[in-house]
Structure 1
Amino acid sequence: MIAGYLGPQSSFTHQAAQILFGKTQLHAFPSIPNCLQAVSEGTCDCGVVPIENSLEGSVHATIDYLFHKSNLQVIEEVILPIKQQLLVSPMTQLAEITTIMSHPQALAQSQTYLERHFPKVKLEAVSSTTAAAEYVRDHPEKGYAAIASTQAAARYQLTIAATNIQDNAVNQTRFWVVKKAPQEEQKSSAQIETGANIAKQTLLVTLPSNQPGALHQILAAFGWRKIGLSKIESRPLKTHLGEYFFVIDLVCEQSSRLIANALEEITLLGATVRNLGAYPVTTITDSSR
């Protein structure tokens, strides 16, 4: 089996893919759309992409691609603790750092530390935390530092100058495993039959146009059935200003029949429902990494 992931190697998505698939053949892609497209076209059997960080929120590239351009379904979620490290060349001292580079989210996740310890140092956003580590390794004379993972430090033989510099100790990222949906399920909003370990289900819902109270009616279909929601978020439809679709995560504590009835009611109310799948959720702890 070939599993694609948002690369490069030693990125946090790569770590999630390794945890999920072990020695499976892993293939890195430079962007989320590239990875998802490979799964959609059958180049990869599945893909691992980030969906949400506890500090910085949703990864819009993932959810927008799944809504607008693919017939993929979510089959699993893994929650990975994110520990950011400050990496330097072995020949660089902290006082010599002129620029700190990383992925924009890693810089944002470490903002408090950077403002406190490096208020006058230039911050530079690059394509990934791993790309930052690679650049620091290849240019030891520049006094650059990178924010990246412990794996990246080992891979590029860099020194960890400061550990766990993220602003919040409970910094986690959700990753989804996606695969191509069977043809008969691609147009269905029905509950995908799954095992007893299923924890969540994600829906993409488009409301009927110009209907007052439509969102309230949709949410009421879940509320009176006591179906819990762990997330609801709006995203632009990219048609006209002010038009949105909604991402809704269901907590699968009720029967699949009850959830299917709620989806049927929502459809009868005029909403369009895309079922991204029902899936298990695994939380990785520090001790299991």
Structure 2
Amino acid sequence: MKIGYLGPKNSFTYQATNAGFPNLIQLAFQTIPKCLEAISDQRIDMAVIPIENSLEGSVHASMDYLFHSKDLTVKQEMILPIRQQLMMVDPNKKPEVIMSHPQALAQSQAYLNEHYPTTPIVQTPSTTYAAEYASAHPDEAVAAIASKQAADAFSLRIIGHDIQDNDQNETRFWVITKRCTQDSRQQNVTKGKLSFFLTLPSNQPGVLHKMLAAFAWRGIDLAKIESRPLKTSLGQYYFIIDLTVDENEPLIQYAFEEIALLGAEIRVLGPYEIRMISASGEQ
């Protein structure tokens, strides 16, 4: 089997993929849409994409693509602690520029403000790109923010360990597969989560409350709710909602039926199990 991931190699998405599926053929893709398109085109069987970071929030490119793709669903969720390292070729030099992906820079802002307040910052397409550039240009005194695995891969020395602003920094990754012809809610998952997209029938006072009440009075735990623009006109949104699955799938199904009778549109992702991965890549 083949599994795709948002590359390049040694990125955090690669770490999650390698920890969860070390024996599958792994293919890197430059963007989330290209990665997910490869599933629809049957070039790969599964894909791993980032869905949410605990500090920076949801990955909108992932959410929006999945909302508009009717043939994809979630097979599994993996949670990876994110540990950012500052690295250089020569640890005795003072960095003249610091490079990394915008999210890694944002996650390390307090450290950078304290230790390198005047050092120029350059955004790169990925943390791996920054590490590779620093390795290939030792005379430029470039420092990169990336993972320990990237430091090892490009023979860089870590000059700042675990520089992320919050030790609870984690990223959720979804393992995406093509939707089966059978109802995906029939998967044998008794403890985990289920996500679904909700589109309201109209923008009327109290309509969202009516939808959510279908879960509240049944005692179904909503783990997350977030809105995203439909990109049709101002004030038009869809919602992504996560539910906790705990042998309560019949109640969830009844709630879906009630919401459908109220005129809303629902598309289910999952249910899926949750796997925790350590910062070293071990499960």
TM-score bracket, normalised by the shorter chain, equals over 0.9
Per-residue deviation at 1:41? 1.4
Using the aligned pairs only, state the percent identity: 52
What are the superposed Cα offsets for residues 172-230 of structure 1, whole Å, 9 maximum, x if unpaired?
Answer: 00000000102454xxxxx6112245310001000011322110001100000000011
Q: Quick check: 3-12 or 278-287, which moved more? A: 278-287
- Matches of 1:236 and 1:105, distance apart in 2: 22
Per-residue deviation at 1:70? 4.5
Matched, 1:241 2:240: no
Per-residue deviation at 1:68? 1.6
**TM-score, normalization by structure 1:** 0.94
Per-residue deviation at 1:249? 0.1
SS in 1 for 2:167: coil
Contact residue 227 and residue 253 of structure 1 kept, 8 A: no
Matched, 1:228 2:203: no
- Which consecutive residues of structure 2, in runs of 5 or more, have no partner in the other structure? none
SS in 2 for 1:252: strand
Q: How many residues align?
A: 282
Aligned to 1:2: 2
- Matches of 1:44 and 1:241, distance apart in 2: 37
Per-residue deviation at 1:94? 4.6
* Amino acid in the other structure paired with 1:267: A
Aligned to 1:108: 106
Per-residue deviation at 1:83? 0.4
Matched, 1:64 2:64: yes
Aligned to 2:270: 277
Matched, 1:42 2:37: no
Q: How does 1:95-244 map to 2 (within 5 A)?
A: 95=94, 97-185=95-183, 192-244=185-237
Contact residue 47 and residue 178 of structure 1 kept, 8 A: yes
Distance 1:287 1:88, change over 3 A: closer
- Matches of 1:162 and 1:210, distance apart in 2: 50
- Matches of 1:217 and 1:197, distance apart in 2: 27
- Matches of 2:231 and 2:193, distance apart in 1: 27
Contact residue 190 and residue 247 of structure 2 kept, 8 A: no
Q: In angstroms, what is the RMSD of aligned CA positions?
A: 1.3
| Runs of 4+ displaced beyond 6 Å | none
- Which consecutive residues of structure 1, in runs of 5 or more, have no partner in the other structure? 186-190
Contact residue 133 and residue 147 of structure 1 kept, 8 A: yes
SS in 1 for 2:267: strand
Q: How does 1:15-26 map to 2 (within 5 A)?
A: 15-26=15-26
Per-residue deviation at 1:256? 1.2
- Matches of 1:25 and 1:198, distance apart in 2: 29
Per-residue deviation at 1:288? 6.0
What are the superposed Cα offsets for residues 92-142 of structure 1, whole Å, 9 maximum, x if unpaired?
Answer: 5352x1111111100000000000000001111111000000000111111
SS in 1 for 2:246: coil
Aligned to 1:253: 246
Contact residue 84 and residue 164 of structure 1 kept, 8 A: yes
